[in-house]
Structure 1
């Protein structure tokens, strides 16, 4: 690209993602990956990564109210009808380009935050037995005859939490796969590298048909 072309390209780019959103995004990717890979063998590393994920989710919830324009929930969250309409447009290949999060991407952010919160919270409860006392009594899924001498069940609260933790983690992994697929599709449809924009913070300036 010539110097003129490079300069013109920069002039046509606009800053969308602030530095904290970008740091949050890639740190969360790293933390969740580490937590997933260390789940079976490296319990200490798994717990540390889990706490990092929990802290990042808490930060994003706060930043969703006080952050920059395109980081705020009020800017990108849409009603279910708008989300379904956008998905329908995607199926027909007629969806409009959004400078920030599109309605489907916004719904995915909410789903990921919920799944990550469930994963982190259930993991936190599993970390210390005393923390489970804060919860209502979990359903008994074995007969009382299997209770031990202390009237505790060999398969009960802790096992139920472990299952919940795994379900939330697997759900998060599925949502991540869908998210990556959506990013690839949107990048192809709108001819811009969305992953790179989450590194640089810049996206192509909006055209007359784009939504800002």
Structure 2
């Protein structure tokens, strides 16, 4: 018999899926469709602010204190994962923790560089009044971090697939429903 446990609260799940949608809208619109690109970027900024606050005030599994760990622990987990000996976690595992931090930093850099590009090239946005120049530098940084984030997303999806197969559970389903199954002692 398996019991369910609520792991991902509605705010975390909405954050996750709206972030996915917003990132891809921004990534695929770029300069050709500046208005949706900018609006999607603003949504990402709002989501980042929300997640930072929710990381300190949210439910148990949403709190940073529940899953942030050392790089050594993340590397040890990846070693165990490579040998199919990785421990199952109800919330984020140590590799997931590292991925969240990398994605957060990369998305933050996209937002900062995007606002700078918007100010330098369009003389618009919250940074426009600061007279930002060097649009080429900011544009290169923006493009680099957008592509780096896409690379991280691919790694994240691969990790979700591997982890789901290793532990016989659907992590995608749990991010949709909020629930994970707790295995009984006879199943572990």
TM-score after normalising by structure 2:
0.90
Give the 5 Å matches for 1:1-212. 12-129=3-120, 131=127, 157-207=134-184
1:94-132 residue CA offsets vs partner (Å, 9 max, x unmatched): 001000000000110010010001001110111123637
1:147-166 residue CA offsets vs partner (Å, 9 max, x unmatched): xxxxxxxxx81101100000
- Separation of aligned partners in 1, 2:18 and 2:142: 21
Q: SS where residue 128 of structure 1 aligns?
A: helix
- Separation of aligned partners in 2, 1:57 and 1:73: 14
Q: SS where residue 163 of structure 1 aligns?
A: helix
Q: SS where residue 157 of structure 2 aligns?
A: helix
Which segments of structure 1 move beyond 2 Å, counting only runs of 4 or more? Answer: 129-135, 206-209
- Separation of aligned partners in 2, 1:208 and 1:164: 50
TM-fit CA distance, 1:81? 1.4
Q: How many residues align?
A: 182
Q: Which runs of 5+ in 1 are unaligned?
A: 1-7, 138-155
Question: CA separation of 1:134/1:207 partners in 2, compared to 1, >3 Å: closer, same or farther?
Answer: farther
Q: Whose radius of gyration is greater, 1 or 2?
A: 1
- Separation of aligned partners in 1, 2:90 and 2:19: 22
TM-fit CA distance, 1:20? 0.2
TM-fit CA distance, 1:40? 3.2
Q: Which runs of 5+ in 2 are unaligned?
A: none
TM-fit CA distance, 1:90? 0.7
